[in-house]
Structure formats: C-alpha cells, structure tokens
Amino acid sequence: MSSVKPILPYIEPTIRSLAGGLIIIMGILLGAQYEVAAIWLGVLFFVGFNLFQSGFTNWCLMEKILTRLNFRSELCEIKMLSEELQRSAQQQANYLDTLALLNEAVIELTRDGFIINASDGWAKLIGYPSNKASLNEPLANYVVSSDRPLLANLLTELNEGQRKVHGINFRLLGDGGTERRGRWVSGNFMLAKHGDNPPFIKGVLCNISERKRVEDERKKHQEELSHVHRLSSLGEMAAGLAHELNQPLAAINLYMQGCLRRLEENPAQLDEIRAAMESASLQAQRAGDIISQIRSFVRNAPMDCQPVDLNRLIRDTIHLFDADPTMSRTRLKLELAENLPLRNIDRLRIEQVLVNLINNANDAMRDSPSEAREITIRTRQESGIVTVSIEDRGKGIPEDIADRIFEPFVTHSNCGLGLGLSISRSIIEEHGGTLYCHTRTNGGTAFSFTLPDTLPGTTS
C-alpha cells in the first residue's frame, strides 16, 4: 500500500486519515492485483465527497461571479447610452444656438393652437424673460387681433390634411400686449407626430420686422416719387391742357351766344335752340371729363382695383394727348386684340404707366422726320396673361444706360427726371406683372408689360 502515500496530499486534510484507511481496506478486499484500481476508486469517491461538501459554497461563489460579470455588462451598456444621450444633448444645444443666431424661434402647438413647447427665441419675440411663461396658452393670445383670422385659417388647413404651410406672415403683439408696434414674423408650420404620441403642430418663426420696415419705407418713398412725377407730367402737359379746355369752353360760349341771338330774333325757333343747348351741354361735359381725368391723375390715391377693359382704357388714355403739341406730328397706331378679358387693376395707375410709356416713345422720336414718327400700341392674350406693348421708331436706348434703364433718375432725355420707368415698373409689379423692353429688329424700342388674371395674394 505504499502507493497510497503519494495520493494523500491531494485529498482534503480534514478527511485525509479517513481516506487513507478506506483505501487500504478496499485494497485488502479487492486483493493486491486490484490495488491500483482500489486506490483510484477511493480517490474518486473522496474527491466526489469533497466536491459535495464544498459544492454549495462553490456554486454560490460562481453565482456571484456570473452576477458580477452580468452587472458589469449592464454598466457598460448604461455607459454607452449615457454617452449617446450626452452627444444628443450636445447636438440639440448646438441646434438651439444656431437657431438663436438665425433670429428664429421654434414652437410646438396642440392641434387647436395651444403652446406646448417653445425655444428661447420665442421668449425674445414676445418680450418675455422665459419661454415657460407662455406654455399652455393659445398662440392667438400673442397675435394682433386683425391677424388672428390668418392663424385660424392656418390651423384649419393643417387639421384638414395639408401637411405643411409656408410663408405665413403675421404680427405679434408689442410690449405690454399693445396692438401697435408689434413684431412682424414669417412662419413655416407642419403637422408632426412622434411615436405613439398624438399629432402636434411644429412651427418656425422668423423675425422680419426690419425687412417689413424697409419695405414700407421703400413703398412710401416710391409713392412720393410717383406723386412728384405725376405733378411733373402735369406741368409738362399744362400748355396742351389749357388749349384742350379752351376748345369746349369756347364752343359753349358760341352755342350760348347763338341761343340768345335766336331768342331775340325769333323766340319760336325752339328746336334750333334746343339743339344748340344740347351741344353746349356736351361740350361742358367734355370739359368736366378733362378736369376729372387730370384731378384723378394728380391725386395720390391708394390702390383701388376694379374690372377694367384694357382696350377702352388705352383709347381713353390716348385722348389725353389730343391737345399735346409735342404729339401733333406723331401717329398713334392701335393693334388691339378682340375679346380681351377684363382685368382687375387700378385704372389710374395703369393709365399712368401708359402715359409714361407713350411720352417716352414720343420723346425717343423727337429728332425723327414726321413720316417716321409712329407709335404702335398692341394688346394680346396668351395663357391667361394679357400683354400690352408700346413700340416706337426712334434710335433705341443708348448702350451705356441699357442695363440701368429702370433705375431711378436714369434717363437719356434732356427734359425728363428719369423717374417714369422706375415708377411704372413698381406699379406693374404691384399688379403681379412684369415690365420689360427690347430693341426692335427694324429699329426703335418696344416696352411691354404683362397683367395676370389675378393680383398677388389672391386666388382666381
């Protein structure tokens, strides 16, 4: 049994003596020839017993190890999520900083228009110290009363299926909730939905107060220039107008003198007297029409659009030049399209454009011989757009000012102010059209302007 000794050191010390004795007994029972087998059988038995005795403790230790490994895995996952959240928060902060630099505000609304979230830019727009102060309030509370219908229409469009609405301009209330001096904003809105949350309205508002101020000043300045030009045009036409008014007034005087003479000579000639009085009345009406046209032409009235027959307006405008001595050597040729549709325009302003363009065409031919002085006025319609053209047979526009012909105070005339074309272009653009020019192939210049079937901001 000497072979037992090398094995004993590998057995648990507390049971080493018992193990040695059992191995010897098993060796005696099995016989010498089975000594080795008995030894290893004993070893396996006591190893198993050893494991059984300490198994519960080892299992608890293993469970702790596995639990700790799993916890460390969760910690890694939490750390990764935390880093991702930090990156997302940083990106959001960068976006908000960018919005602040762009002078824009972001708001989120319920579908009935209540504010549920807003950026710091919104607080600046409404003059509040914090963007939290306006939460859970209707956006309409911060909009001037006259623009609230625009907001109501916006909500209706989004709730009825239109996903996005761009470029809606309205005014916010001023400091202290005043209607005056409010800020102008331009907004883009859309209906959004995140996950299982109910749909909401997201909007981006841009402060356009400065742009509006510049536009208003430009418009006011343009109206002042237009008024000055009308007065200047009236001064240039004064001599011809005096002659034009003198004709019907002189005719009235002659008819009245004839009536008095007939009454003295033969009071019974009532038919002749009646005819003379009717002629006098027509001449008086003509003089009144001339005065009315000039008064309307000079008056700086706001834009008043009505359905107008352009062909008739052109014919009426031409009569303004009947008494103009500078037009006496110029032929006016009309090529007007038939069945031209009515256009919703400001008659006075379009008449002013026609007067400016006809005057320019006549002035362009001031050095031309009488047989070559002809102005052609054309109208045509194509794809719902009416085009009016005024063509002359002059020398054309000098190359040095051709690119600046529509700028204020640019002129090649010795007597003009250089305001007519600039004002005319503004008037046509107010009507949603375009004023342009080109050189004719057979000499001269053609100025044309278009008038669409609807005004800007309206629907057909």
pLDDT tens for 310-344 read 999 999 888 777 656 678 889 999 999 998 999 99
- Judged by DSSP in three states, 152 sits in helix
For residue 16, the surrounding DSSP H or E stretch is helix 16-30
Q: What are the start and end residues of each CATH 3.30.450.20 domain in the chain?
A: 102-207
255: left (phi over 0), alpha (psi -120 to 50) or beta: alpha
- Evaluate if residue 129 carries a pLDDT over 50: yes
Q: Which residues of 53-81 are buried (b: 16+ CB within 10 A; e: fewer)?
A: eeeeeeeeeeeeeeeeeeeeeeeeeeeee
What is the pLDDT at residue 163?
A: 79
- Judged by DSSP in three states, 24 sits in helix
- pLDDT tens column, 161-178: 887 888 888 888 877 677
Higher-confidence position of 415 and 131: 131
- pLDDT tens column, 53-86: 555 455 555 555 555 555 556 667 767 877 787 8
- What average pLDDT does range 284-292 have in this prediction? 67
- pLDDT tens column, 223-276: 777 766 666 666 555 554 555 566 667 667 777 777 777 777 776 677 777 777
- Evaluate if residue 386 carries a pLDDT over 90: yes
What is the pLDDT at residue 125?
A: 81
CB 389 within 8 A of CB 447: yes
- pLDDT tens column, 361-385: 988 888 888 888 999 999 999 888 8
- What average pLDDT does range 137-147 have in this prediction? 89
Q: What are the start and end residues of each CATH 3.30.565.10 domain in the chain?
A: 305-460
What is the pLDDT at residue 460?
A: 44
What band does 189 get if pLDDT is binned at 50, 70 and 90? very high
Q: What is the spatial distance between Cα 111 and Cα 198, in angstroms, rounded to a whole number?
A: 9
Tokens coding 145: 């009363």
- What average pLDDT does range 183-190 have in this prediction? 89
The torsion defined by the Cα of 106, 110, 112 and 115, in degrees rounded to 10, comes to -50
Q: What is the mean pLDDT of the chain?
A: 75
What band does 412 get if pLDDT is binned at 50, 70 and 90? low
What CATH number does the domain located at 102-207 have?
3.30.450.20
What band does 11 get if pLDDT is binned at 50, 70 and 90? low
- pLDDT tens column, 25-60: 655 555 544 455 555 555 555 555 554 455 545 555
- Evaluate if residue 459 carries a pLDDT over 50: no
pTM over 0.95: no
What is the pLDDT at residue 375?
A: 94
Give backbone dihedrals phi and psi of 122, rounded to 5 degrees, phi first.
-65, -40
| CA distances for 294 relative to 11, 189, 249, 286, angstroms | 129, 48, 17, 13
What is the pLDDT at residue 165?
A: 83
Tokens coding 132: 């939290």
- Evaluate if residue 439 carries a pLDDT over 90: no
Tokens coding 208: 């356009």
- Evaluate if residue 155 carries a pLDDT over 80: yes
What is the pLDDT at residue 99?
A: 60
What band does 102 get if pLDDT is binned at 50, 70 and 90? low
Give the CATH class of 305-460. Answer: alpha beta
Q: What is the spatial distance between Cα 255 and Cα 253, in angstroms, rounded to a whole number?
A: 6
What is the pLDDT at residue 42?
A: 55
Higher-confidence position of 450 and 243: 450
